Amino acid sequence: MSIKDKLASILFGVKGKNEAAEEELDAEREQMKEQTQEEPLAAAEDPALIKLSGEHPLHQLYGLRRREAGSLPAPRLCMDEDGVLPEDLIRREKNRLQSALKNVSNFRLKSMKGNANRRAKDEEAQGEPEGLDALPWFFISSNKLYAWVMVFPPMGAGQELTREMLYQAIKEQGITYGVNERLADRLAHDDHRYFNLFLIAKGKPAFDGKNGNIVDYFPRVVERVLAVDEYDQVDYTALNLIHNVKEGQEICRLIRPTEGEPGRTVLDQEIPAKSGKSVSLPKGRNTEISEDGDALVALSAGHVEFTGRSFQVKPVLDVPGNVDFSTGNIKFLGDVNIKGDVLTGFTVRAMGSIWVGGVIEAGSTVEAGGDLTVVKGILGDGTTTVRAQRCVFSKYIENATIYVRENLQTDAIINGGIYCDGEVLVRSGRGVIMGGRIWAAKKISASTVGSKSERRTSIVLGGLPCTSFEREQVRRELKELEIEQERLECQPDGPTKASLLSKVRMKLSTTELRLQQLEEELQDVKPTLGSKDNEGRLECSVAYAGTELRFGEEMLRLQREERQCIAKMICGEIVVM
């Protein structure tokens, strides 16, 4: 190159012979643009892959390097080769990386042009030509958790990338945590070390602690749930509105908050972490917090309710109106107070006492674990069943079956089936026992027994009335299960039949075992029935003819009206005094 061309090159850019080089560079730029356009569409869809336009200065640097070195792998700028980085991080940092890459590429290109001018002067001065050493360039994410490196190749007589050069650059950038040393050692000799983006360091993200939480074992909002049975039938009287809890049972449990775990940036700076927030147990009436402080337990049996701020246990369930479709069937572990009636077809079961302000209608079932009080009486139709593990107090009893473990007191019993292990007292009001079967283990006391029309009224004394009643109930249930089993066995084979049949057989086996236990219990006391003179007695002001008296196997039918009579067993015979 002549002195004139060299001066023109310095003052006005590339002239003369350099025009050919510039044209060659333009051709390479066009080729890179075509390669960019012809890359597979799948690569363009990779969110971690950075696409550069054909005019990007990085392509110019690549063209210059390829002209010097000959063959050279094409640039590849992928932020996440392994697919482990969060997508939102890639989207957030991608624009920053493209902007920073453009700036450093322009700066590198200007440095190379300036170095070319200096080389021209050196050639005139016959000195040693200068060059640019390889340049490791680093990009650190905004959260300082990730660091990438891209190495620019040397130009002219510059030094190639070495391991020492790379580690020195890493140190100067302050990247001291999470450095991928295996990658750093490999880059010094890798064929793709230039114009490729590598994730050189990863920090440790901070993890905030989890907030405390409450795990509820009972719902805070009571919803009406209609369950479908195996026959695809819905019982609209079973609304599941009452949630019973036993004494000491857990209502909810506390999940304690966790401590945060601090992280480290690639610059070895600590990233603080927040600890989880604690919550308190919603303690209300009749509840207490367990000794370890992690659970809320019930102080007594009852119904669990959530008041909006806390759980509370109500040992008494108040029903302001009737037991009907608005309440559904009631099953409660405490006491139940019903201000209205128990309507036909509904069931009330309670572990405690039951108080009914109205009447118990026909076809309903009421079972109390304590006392049963019915202010206006029990009006049945022969299917009404009432059970009480203690005493029953009712205005009247008509066409109903009553099972009571202790005493029964009422003003009148009309066509009742009474099984009482204590005393039956019918002295208040009319004091009438008319029709039906009254069985008391100890005593029956009434003003009037029977009727002038000699309506059949059976009085049974002594023995185990409640156990005998249970045996009758179990026998009836056993017969129904046997009929159901025969009906299912006649149906076509299938999964539904197998499932239902297995359930019926299981119930059948359990019922048979229960019947066997009751039979054994009655068999043990059978030899003593009717053998004790003080086993039971009847006291009444008037006993009409047609009344049957039974003590064990002994039976006596009154043939005439008896007044102020007492009937009991004396020396194995029924005596009316």
Per-residue confidence at 258, pLDDT binned at 50, 70, 90?
very high
Looking at per-residue confidence, does 128 or 251 come out higher?
Answer: 251
pLDDT one-digit tens code per residue, 444-461: 999 999 988 888 899 999
pLDDT of 24 above 70: no
Give the pLDDT of residue 41: 39
Tell me, yes or no, if the pTM score tops 0.85: no
Q: Please indicate, yes or no, if residue 178 is contained in any of the structural domains.
A: yes
Per-residue confidence at 519, pLDDT binned at 50, 70, 90?
confident
Asked whether residue 269 falls in the same domain as residue 170, the answer is no
pLDDT of 52 above 90: no
Asked whether residue 162 falls in the same domain as residue 183, the answer is yes
- CB-CB contact of 257 with 212 (8 Å): yes
Q: Please indicate, yes or no, if residue 273 is contained in any of the structural domains.
A: yes
| 294: Cβ contacts below 8 Å, ≥ 6 apart | 253, 254, 256
pLDDT of 348 above 90: yes
- 389 φψ region: left (φ > 0), alpha (ψ -120 to 50), beta (else): alpha
Q: Which two tokens stand for residue 383?
A: 């299917």
Q: Please indicate, yes or no, if residue 321 is contained in any of the structural domains.
A: no
Looking at per-residue confidence, does 118 or 369 come out higher?
Answer: 369
Q: Which of 116, 110, 96, 51 is nearest to 77 (CA)?
A: 51
Determine which of 159-173, 174-188, 529-543 has the lowest per-residue pLDDT on average.
529-543
The last residue of one of the domains, among 202, 223, 238, is 202
pLDDT of 315 above 60: yes
Per-residue confidence at 124, pLDDT binned at 50, 70, 90?
low
pLDDT of 389 above 80: yes
Q: Average pLDDT in the 386-405 region?
A: 92
Across the chain, mean pLDDT equals: 82
Asked whether residue 386 falls in the same domain as residue 460, the answer is yes
Looking at per-residue confidence, does 427 or 573 come out higher?
Answer: 427
**CB half-sphere exposure, 250, CA atoms < 13 A:** 14
Q: Please indicate, yes or no, if residue 320 is contained in any of the structural domains.
A: no
**CB half-sphere exposure, 4, CA atoms < 13 A:** 1
User: Domain range holding 31?
Assistant: 3-202
Asked whether residue 383 falls in the same domain as residue 398, the answer is yes
Asked whether residue 387 falls in the same domain as residue 519, the answer is no
The last residue of one of the domains, among 168, 202, 236, is 202
Q: Average pLDDT in the 362-383 region?
A: 90
Give the pLDDT of residue 234: 67
Report DSSP letters for 291-341, one per residue.
Answer: TTSSEEEESSSEEEEE-SS-EEEESEEEESS-BSTTT--EEESSEEEESS-
Q: Which two tokens stand for residue 517?
A: 């236990």
Q: Which residues pair with 179 in a beta bridge?
A: 201
The last residue of one of the domains, among 285, 314, 343, is 314
Q: Please indicate, yes or no, if residue 542 is contained in any of the structural domains.
A: yes
Asked whether residue 77 falls in the same domain as residue 87, the answer is yes
Q: How far is Cα 223 from Cα 64, in angstroms, rounded to an integer?
A: 76
Q: Average pLDDT in the 191-216 region?
A: 90
Asked whether residue 445 falls in the same domain as residue 497, the answer is no
Asked whether residue 19 falls in the same domain as residue 37, the answer is yes
Give the pLDDT of residue 22: 52
Asked whether residue 28 falls in the same domain as residue 82, the answer is yes
Asked whether residue 180 falls in the same domain as residue 79, the answer is yes
Give the pLDDT of residue 13: 44
Determine which of 381-385, 469-473, 520-524, 566-570 has the lowest per-residue pLDDT on average.
520-524
| 312: Cβ contacts below 8 Å, ≥ 6 apart | 284, 285, 286, 287, 304, 305, 306
Domains contained in the chain, number: 4
Q: How far is Cα 437 from Cα 465, in angstroms, rounded to an integer?
A: 11
How many C-beta atoms lie closer than 10 Å to residue 66's C-beta?
17
Asked whether residue 85 falls in the same domain as residue 188, the answer is yes
Q: Please indicate, yes or no, if residue 536 is contained in any of the structural domains.
A: yes
Q: Average pLDDT in the 173-189 region?
A: 89
pLDDT one-digit tens code per residue, 145-160: 999 998 888 887 788 8
Give the pLDDT of residue 255: 93
pLDDT one-digit tens code per residue, 461-504: 988 888 888 888 888 888 988 888 888 888 888 888 888 888 88
Determine which of 324-328, 475-479, 531-535 has the lowest per-residue pLDDT on average.
531-535
Asked whether residue 551 falls in the same domain as residue 565, the answer is yes
How many C-beta atoms lie closer than 10 Å to residue 505's C-beta?
13
Q: How far is Cα 24 from Cα 20, in angstroms, rounded to an integer?
A: 6
Q: How far is Cα 55 from Cα 25, in angstroms, rounded to an integer?
A: 12
